[in-house]
């Protein structure tokens, strides 16, 4: 009896229908179908909806990074990875009998048409703000009909990164009418929260501490005030049309680049350098 493995089946590429987008998606569907077939990829075949979810989160972050770096080549690659992950997720669900890609597409198509009456209906929207207000009103009506949470703050995923969630919550609050009259009001709120944090640090006797050792009660108060500062700063981003999550990622990239340059510049452990030497190297890195 032969122990040889069966010859691999070549991919059956769907015939072109003359529309590049559809042709690309149909080929991707054929590839994923093949990967999940009994003689497909062992790794892909053992995936579940739950196991695929973390990979999708990772792919989204990689895609966002490539977009922010302006790297079109990597953006194409990362968008492809995310698209493949979504198609794989739909195939897994299809094989378990829960839903499939057709139902996903149908649901989003219906939602987009329903929530864009200013495009597909008789409603008029003269600006992006009006379009967004229409969208939010329709969402609230849908939630009320389903007897779901109808708060203006509803629908913000708890699992979002904290700064991004704060920005989304602030945007919804603003859209509902809870807002300062101008940017100055939002900026003054940030300063107010910073002042409150500074007072709490001073009261805790930590201003001159090199390594703060706060009590449990002090930690709770400091965390409270620091959280208020971060949230107020995120809310300010809405008034300036800035995304705090993206701004923070950019700041981290700058910090890492300058820190690494500083390490090379000094050429020895920081413990052997004075603060003045490190700050001078930091300025050179900037």
The domain spanning residue 56 has which CATH number?
Answer: 1.10.287.1080
**Within a domain: residue 201?**
yes
Q: Which residue, among 26, 31, 3, has the nearest Cα to 14 in the 3D structure?
A: 26
Angle at 153 between CA 196 and CA 112, to 5 degrees: 140
- CA dist., res. 40 & res. 9, Å (int): 9
**Within a domain: residue 15?**
no
Percent of the residues in the chain that have a pLDDT greater than 90, as a whole number:
73
User: Which carries the bigger pLDDT value, residue 108 or residue 155?
Assistant: 108
Report how many domains make up the chain. Answer: 4
**Within a domain: residue 4?**
no
**Within a domain: residue 190?**
yes
Structure tokens at 37: 């077939």
**Within a domain: residue 10?**
no
- CA dist., res. 201 & res. 208, Å (int): 10
Burial of 173 (0-12, 13-18, 19+ CB in 10 A): middle
User: Which carries the bigger pLDDT value, residue 216 or residue 76?
Assistant: 76
**Average pLDDT, integer, range 47-74:** 94
Answer yes or no: do 261 and 197 share one domain. Answer: no
Answer yes or no: do 162 and 209 share one domain. Answer: yes
The CB density around residue 88, as the number of other CB atoms within 10 Å, is 21
Does residue 2 register a pLDDT over 80? no
Answer yes or no: do 123 and 175 share one domain. Answer: no
pLDDT in tens, 224-277: 999 999 999 999 999 999 999 999 999 999 999 999 999 999 999 999 999 999
**Average pLDDT, integer, range 18-23:** 95
**Average pLDDT, integer, range 72-99:** 97
User: Which carries the bigger pLDDT value, residue 167 or residue 130?
Assistant: 167
**Within a domain: residue 247?**
no
The CB density around residue 168, as the number of other CB atoms within 10 Å, is 19
Answer yes or no: do 49 and 96 share one domain. Answer: yes
* 239, 189 contact by CB (below 8 A): no
**Within a domain: residue 102?**
yes
User: Which carries the bigger pLDDT value, residue 130 or residue 94?
Assistant: 94
Domain of 169? 158-242
Answer yes or no: do 37 and 55 share one domain. Answer: yes
Answer yes or no: do 47 and 99 share one domain. Answer: yes
Q: What is the pTM of this model?
A: 0.71
Burial of 158 (0-12, 13-18, 19+ CB in 10 A): exposed
pLDDT grade for 7, boundaries at 50, 70 and 90: low
State in Å, rounded, how far the first CA of the chain is from the last one: 70
**Within a domain: residue 37?**
yes
Distance of CA 205 to the CA centre of its chain: 38
């Amino acid at each position: 009896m032969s122990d040889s493995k069966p010859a691999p089946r070549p991919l059956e590429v769907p015939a072109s229908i003359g529309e590049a987008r559809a042709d690309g998606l149909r080929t991707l569907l054929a590839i994923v179908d093949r990967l999940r077939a009994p003689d497909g990829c062992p790794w892909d075949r053992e995936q579940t909806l739950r196991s695929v979810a973390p990979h999708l989160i990772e792919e989204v972050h990689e895609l966002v990074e490539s977009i922010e770096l302006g790297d079109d080549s990597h953006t194409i690659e990362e968008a492809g990875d995310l698209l493949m992950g979504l198609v794989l997720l739909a195939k897994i669900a299809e094989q378990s009998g829960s839903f499939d890609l057709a139902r996903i597409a149908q649901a989003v198509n219906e939602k987009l048409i329903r929530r864009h009456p200013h495009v597909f209906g008789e409603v008029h929207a003269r600006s992006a703000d009006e379009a967004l207000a229409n969208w939010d009103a329709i969402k609230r009506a849908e939630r009320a009909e389903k007897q779901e949470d109808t708060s203006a703050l509803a629908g913000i995923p708890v699992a979002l990164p904290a700064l991004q969630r704060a920005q989304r919550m602030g945007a919804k609050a603003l859209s509902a009418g809870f807002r300062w009259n101008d940017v100055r009001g939002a900026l003054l709120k940030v300063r107010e929260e910073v002042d409150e944090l500074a007072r709490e640090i001073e009261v805790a006797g930590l201003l001159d501490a090199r390594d703060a050792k706060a009590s449990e009660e002090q930690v709770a108060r400091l965390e409270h005030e620091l959280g208020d500062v971060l949230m107020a700063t995120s809310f300010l981003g809405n008034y300036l049309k800035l995304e705090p999550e993206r701004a923070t990622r950019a700041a981290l990239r700058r910090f890492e680049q300058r820190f690494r340059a500083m390490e090379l510049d000094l050429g020895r452990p920081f413990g052997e350098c004075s603060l003045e030497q490190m700050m001078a190297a930091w300025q050179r890195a900037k």
